[in-house]
A and B are shown apart, each in its own frame.
Chain A
Amino acid sequence: MGLLDKEFSDGNIVVANVEDLLNWARLSSVWQLGFGLACCAIEMMATSASHYDFDRFGLIPRNTPRQADAIIISGTVTLKMAIRIKRLYEQIPDPKYIISMGSCANSGGPYWEHGYHVLKGVDRIIPVDVYVPGCPPRPEALLEGLLKLQEKIRNESLRKKL
């Protein structure tokens, strides 16, 4: 249900409702806050480097939260870092999206039992849109997670966030 279905024959005019237009614009340029936490960050770097190339999906790392639309929580969230992550999240302007990458960010991962300094899941401090399982998730899995996020944005309505 892309916009281009409703293109007129000469290709100059596109008719769409505002919601679709906004969603389309949003989902095709999800700018991500570029920061890595742990091992998963290396996979995230690999995903954005040659071979997997995140840019194809409009994902460009930005270095400040004020220019970002999404965070990929790529790794273990420790208690010391959790406070910072919360602050970063609050600095991102709405609408904002969170991808939680890897078992650690999902639920504490391998550190769930004895990790006295590990937060067992980033969703204890900030709301998560997409969970990507794996330890570490392969780049393909992260891409799938991104596609899921785009699908979610596509179905969003102006009145309420899904």
Chain B
Amino acid sequence: MALKTETMVLNMGPQHPSTHGVLRLELEIEGELIVNVKPHLGYLHRCFEKHAEAMQYNQVIPYTDRMDYLASMGNNFGYVLAVEKLLGIQVPERVEYIRVIMAELQRIASHCVALGTNGADIGALTPFLYLFRDREYILSIIEETCGARMLYNYMWVGGLSHDIHPNFVRRTKEFTSYFKNTIVELDNLLTYNKIFIERTANIGVLPAETAINYGATGPMLRGSGIKFDLRKDDTYSIYNRFDFDIPVGQGLQGTVGDSWDRYYVRVREMEQSLRIIEQAIDQIPEGDVHSAIPKRIKPPKGTVYSRVENPRGELGYFIISDGNTNPFRVKVRAPSFVNLEILGELCKGHLIADVIAILGSIDIVLGEVDR
């Protein structure tokens, strides 16, 4: 006669060192095995959309910074592109180049945190320290130009808040050649580390169709083997001028779409970002970064949905304008919000300890999940 068992509910978070902020998970477990995971959100709901309605178009930019605070440049980028589309502004070449370089630098910085914490969560603390060291390098380059370490308010509608610092080009070049060593170091330390592979390969496998149906984007989707990157597939700004590859998960250590693949895609993506920066940094044309900034932002009536490839995936802004100086409605399609939804599917049948590995490989930023 089979023994009748009961499942047990275990609460994880909102104060938990590995939930990347204030996420609360309700785990339904049978022994050590996960039966179901229910995420509870909203512990960092900061009312972005209400603020956007109450502010003028340019005043919203600092609030976009604070959504995905690991990739503020990307958030600024998406928002200003959306408003520019609504206004029909063409920005100067110089601005485009600087924006792309900044966004790619930020992508590397953001992946540094993502990979570092993914490792640290499952016990590899050293790569975390190495990656934070190099993140500081990027932050100091950006700080020289924008004056802030994390939340920049750098990209404005039609231009930039400042021109780049005279040292910027030199230091960025130094950084790109320096950072290549870090990637090699990271590969040796963590990527091909036996323990790390044991913990992540074949864990949390996400099949391609499920990924699309759940709307997963960014490294989540590419980890499942789908070559889809908005920078190439729905190109914006000047990304079509650069030559770069889209790394995808190939199941090198296990199944396609497992946690290791998602990790691996991020590492390879940093290399591609370096490639873009190297191509762009030599071509920055002369020009005035302020020339296209409108005096008063008052777009015509209409709606726009514009999306960019943020480090975490597709960041979409849906803006409705009613012809006023304030947006009527701004809805953000935050990549982490959508990616997090799959967590329950991914965790089923795994052990409790694997939840941490899977969550780390999804790479969420709670500021963006809750907005």
Contact = CB atoms under 8 A, between A and B. Distances in A.
A110 B63 contact: yes
A75 to B, nearest CB: 8
A34 B14 contact: no
B46 A115 contact: yes
Contacts of A49: 128-129, 132-133
Q: Is the interface of B mostly helix, strand, loop or mixed?
A: loop
Given A50-B132, A113-B54, A39 B22 contact: no
B22 A37 contact: yes
B365 to A, nearest CB: 9
B249 interface: no
B150 A43 contact: yes
B88 interface: no
B44 A78 contact: yes
A50 B133 contact: yes
B21 A36 contact: yes
Contact of B150 (A61, A115, A116, A136): A136
B262 to A, nearest CB: 21
A49 B132 CA distance: 7
A40 B199 CA distance: 30
A21 interface: no
B311 to A, nearest CB: 14
A69 to B, nearest CB: 16
Contacts of B50: 114-116
B147 to A, nearest CB: 11
B149 interface: yes
Given A38-B46, A80-B45, 5 more contacts: A39-B66, A42-B150, A46-B135, A114-B54, A117-B45
Interface string B47-69: 10011001000000011001001
Interface string B20-39: 01100000000000000000
A75 B46 CA distance: 11
Interface of B: 14-17, 21-22, 42-47, 50-51, 54, 62-63, 66, 69-70, 113, 128-130, 132-133, 135-136, 149-151, 366-367
Contacts of B46: 38, 76, 78, 111, 115, 117-118
Given A76-B44, A78-B44, A118-B46, A38 B21 contact: yes
Contacts of A113: 54
Nearest to B53: A114
Interface centre among B14, B63, B66, B133 (most CB of A within 10 A): B66
23 contacts: A35-B17, A36-B22, A37-B21, A37-B22, A37-B44, A42-B150, A45-B113, A46-B132, A50-B136, A51-B132, A51-B133, A78-B45, A81-B22, A81-B44, A110-B62, A111-B51, A114-B47, A114-B50, A114-B54, A115-B47, A116-B47, A117-B42, A135-B151
Contacts of A37: 21-22, 44
A37 B69 CA distance: 12
A138 interface: yes
B69 A38 contact: yes
A162 B130 CA distance: 40
Contact of A46 (B51, B63, B136): B136
Contacts of B14: 81, 84
Given A35-B17, A51-B133, A42 B70 contact: yes
A147 interface: no
A88 B132 contact: no
A63 interface: yes
A15 to B, nearest CB: 40
A136 B54 CA distance: 23
A38 B63 CA distance: 13
Contacts of A149: none
B17 A34 contact: yes
Interface in A5-54: 33-39, 41-43, 45-46, 49-51
A118 B371 CA distance: 12
B367 A39 contact: yes
A63 B121 CA distance: 13
Given A38-B367, A110-B63, A111-B47, A50 B15 contact: no
Interface in A118-162: 118, 135-136, 138
Contacts of B63: 110
B42 A114 contact: no
A136 B149 CA distance: 9
A111 B55 CA distance: 12
